[in-house]
Structure 1
Amino acid sequence: MRKILVVGAGQSGLQLALGLQSHGYEVTLMSNRTADEIRSGRVMSTQCMFHTALGHERDLKLNFWESQAPRIEGLGVSVAAPGSHDPGPTQRAVDWVGRLDGYAQSVDQRVKMAGWMETFAQRGGQLVIHGAAVGDLDYFSRTYDLVLVAAGKGELVSMFARDPERSPYGEPQRALAVAYVHGLGPRPEHPEFDAVRCNLVPGVGELFIMPTFTTSGRADILFWEGVPGGPLDAFTGVKDPAEHLSLTLELMEKFTPWEYARATRVELTDAGGTLAGRYAPTVRNPIGRLPSGGLVLGVADVVVANDPITGQGSNSAAKCAAAYLDSILERGDKPFDEEWMRATFDRYWTTARHVTKWTNAMLAPPPAHVLDLIGAAGALQPVADRFANAFDDPADFENFFYEPEKTAAYLASVAGV
């Protein structure tokens, strides 16, 4: 029986630990918090998982909350009219919703990670509640066949060197602010189904709204992404949750009044329902070398951390865990050496590279042909649907998004020109 240590109890670490456990591996999971501490703590993310990522959970029978979480059947895009937020926007230059082929879902990671961690322990896994430092891994690496680092923050990330060729940004490109709320009304245009709403305010930032399932049931996430130094970059130093929500709503009223109109009666789901911060999107070398010479393999956002503007974090984590699980199972009893580690990461990078390319493109001001594409989706439903479904398979953007010629050819084909 091969012994594997997984450090970090997020989407990728827990999915991988539970997957390995189900195949008979002796798995130890290290977490810096207990399940109860996670469940009663602060929200950690704005996860919205699309069809493929949800499929990886279903494959492992880990979709415990699927019947309770809202079914997200569409993805909408609104663009504020140029200059309309001065003195106050009422106009949208673009407003459409694409229908998803397979529904998406969001489960608060406090609910999911706590539940998965308890399941791991109930199934006989060894759970170690302890923050891990590089020195700890140096000690543990001698007694495990493989050490996987899935803790995307803290000292351990420094073991993995930044890959400058794959990391065009050295600084954070957005200031992030999240609030989980009850009491949000439906969008009047499509009250019959749930959708993620992407509101773009050119030059200022983005507001994302998504239905979720949290510790107190059905809720919605209000998520601002502000251009650093701009009017949405206003949450630094805001510690009081009520003040955070008030500021969120004030900015909605000014920049996205069509969304504010359904948010006049919202309240926070709980005292831990807010989050703010920023980080630079970074791709890192997947292999970390310990002081003793031992090697560890980085997982998910330890090695590929994208800005959440494209909603890919938990999707990428699930896809990474699935790819790594397959690589480990295929390896059998052969050593998990450096060559295998690099090949395992490369297997994940075949999908992750599309996410990174698309996310980095969305952080920059959109070129004219992308504005044409987003505008055309308002009149051509197949374009809206394809754009929405590319959130599940970002590789498809290669076919119609990046190059003006491909975009023009695609729009002409849909329009029947």
Structure 2
Amino acid sequence: MRKILIVGAGQSGLQLALGLQSHGYEVTLMSNRTADEIRSGRVMSTQCMFDTALGHERDLGLNFWESQAPRIEGLGVSVAGPESARLIDWVGKLDGYAQSVDQRVKMAGWMETFVQRGGQLVIHGAAVGDLDYFAGRYDLVLVAAGKGELVSMFGRDAARSPYAEPQRALAVAYVHGLGPRPEHPDFDAVRCNIVPGVGELFVMPTLTLGGRADILFWEGIPGGPVDAFQGVKDPSEHLALTLELMEKFLPWEYARATRVELTDAGGTLAGRYAPTVRNPIGRLPGGGLVLGVADVVVANDPITGQGSNSASKCAAAYLAAIVEHGDRPFDEEWMRSAFDRYWKTAEPVTKWTNAMLAPPPEHVLNLLGAAGQLQPVADRFANGFDDPADFEDFFFDPEKASAYLASVAGA
């Protein structure tokens, strides 16, 4: 039985640990927090998982909350103009529904399942020295903890990382009491509201500790009016600022948020980080090698909602690569090939996300505008969140965009 150590108990680390466990591997999982500490802690993310990523969970029988979480059937885009009027407002329908489960619920539940199934869980905040000690005792060590000292082992890949600084200031609030969008009260959708020159507000239905809720998520351009959450420690002050900015820039979203309240004292989060792609292999002082997982090696800005989707896809790619490798050694060549397998899905995500962080060129504005008149365009844009590789065929190149719009308009 091959022995594998996974450091980090997020979407990718836990999904991979449970997947390997189901294939008979002896898996040790290292987490800096217990399941109870995760459950009672602060929200960690704004996860919205689309059909492909949810499919990886279903394949492993890990979709424990599928019947409880809201079914997200659409994705809408609004663009604010002068006087906070809506210049663009549409919703595309998803081919397969998306879902969001608060990671405090999911990670705690998956961690307990891992232990119930015989996995070894070590509660310890690992340092590089710890991994140096463990490297010789395991056939493979994977690092899935995307923050802290361990990430420094994986050097930045400058050719794949165009941004050296954070491109958005992030502020999240989980709330109860949000009203429906009056235009589409009959189905749940993620809403992307763009305020040119200011930032974006995402609104997404979720399942949290206390049941159904919604996430209000501001992405502010650094130095702009939405970059206002640094130093705000009080959760109620955080929510008040979130709503104040909604009232100023997005009155149509504020109109359904006048009665909201935070889901719990841990229901807010703020921060920023530079989008970065890193070398997938970390070298330990003693000469051992470790493989980076998910946002350790590909950390995109959450503007395209791909973080947990990419983590799920990375875990699925690595699981297949490990199982197919049999009992051969997990050497440097294998590690690079496993990452290359994941990069096939991560590269389109990175290209699209980095493009969305820049001011949109004219042909992209034309696409977003046309989606309001041509439902197939809205639907295709929405489904690109599940399969970002599709954007290559109509989004980046002005000629491809205009040929696509002409083909839809003439159909």
Shorter-chain TM range is over 0.9
Q: Look up the match of 1:280.
A: 274
1:111 deviation in Å? 0.1
2-side partners of 1:113 and 1:257: how far apart? 35
Distance across 2 between alignment mates of 1:402 and 1:245: 36
Match of 2:234 in 1: 240
Structure 1 residue 227 corresponds to structure 2 residue 217: no
* AA matched with 1:19: G
TM-score by length of 1: 0.98
Residue 78 (structure 2) aligns with = 78
User: Is residue 56 of structure 1 aligned with residue 56 of structure 2?
Assistant: yes
Output aligned runs, 1:132-147, within 5 Å: 132-147=126-141
Aligned to 1:193: 187
How far the C-alpha of 1:136 sits from its partner, in A, is 0.2
Structure 2 CA distance for aligned equivalents of residues 311 and 256 of structure 1? 20
Q: How does 1:17-416 map to 2 (within 5 A)?
A: 17-81=17-81, 83-84=82-83, 89=84, 91-416=85-410
Q: Secondary structure at the match of 2:360?
A: coil
Deviation string, structure 1 residues 136-181 (Cα, Å, up to 9, x no partner): 0000011000000000000000000000000000000000000000
| Structure 2 residue identity aligned to 1:193 | F
Q: Which sections of structure 1, spanning at least 5 residues, go unmatched?
A: none
| In structure 1, C-alpha distance between the alignment counterparts of 2:388 and 2:78, rounded to whole Å | 20
User: Partner letter of residue 123 of structure 2?
Assistant: I
User: What per-residue deviation string (whole Å, max 9, x for no partner) do you get for residues 113-146 of structure 1?
Assistant: 0000000000000000000000000000110000
TM-score, structure 2 length as denominator?
1.00
CA distance in 2, matches of 1:120, 1:350: 29
- The structural deviation recorded for 1:324 is 0.1
The alpha carbon displacement at 1:326 in A equals: 0.1
- Paired amino acid for 1:104: A
- Give the C-alpha shift of residue 249 in structure 1: 0.2
Runs of 4+ off more than 6 Å? none
SS of the aligned residue for 2:392 comes to: helix
Spell out, residue by residue over 1:220-260, the C-alpha distance to the aligned partner (whole angstroms, 9 max, x if none): 00000000000000000000000000000000000000000
3-state DSSP of counterpart to 1:165:
helix
Q: Superposition RMSD on alpha carbons, in Å?
A: 0.5
Distance 1:213 1:287 in 2: 35
1:301: how far off? 0.1
Q: Deviations over 1:5-45 (max 9, x none)?
A: 00000000000000000000000000000000000000000
**Alpha-carbon separation, structure 1, partners of 2:15 and 2:71:** 21
Q: State the one-letter code of the partner of 1:47.
A: Q
User: Quick one: which amino acid aligns to residue 377 of structure 2?
Assistant: V
Runs of 5+ unmatched residues, structure 2? none
Cα shift readout 1:176-200 (whole Å, capped 9, x = no counterpart): 0000000000000000000000000
- Helix, strand or coil at the partner of 2:320: helix
Q: What is the one-letter code of the residue matched to 1:36?
A: D
- Cα distance in 2, alignment partners of residues 256 and 321 from structure 1: 37
Q: CA separation in 2, counterparts of 1:123 and 1:10?
A: 18
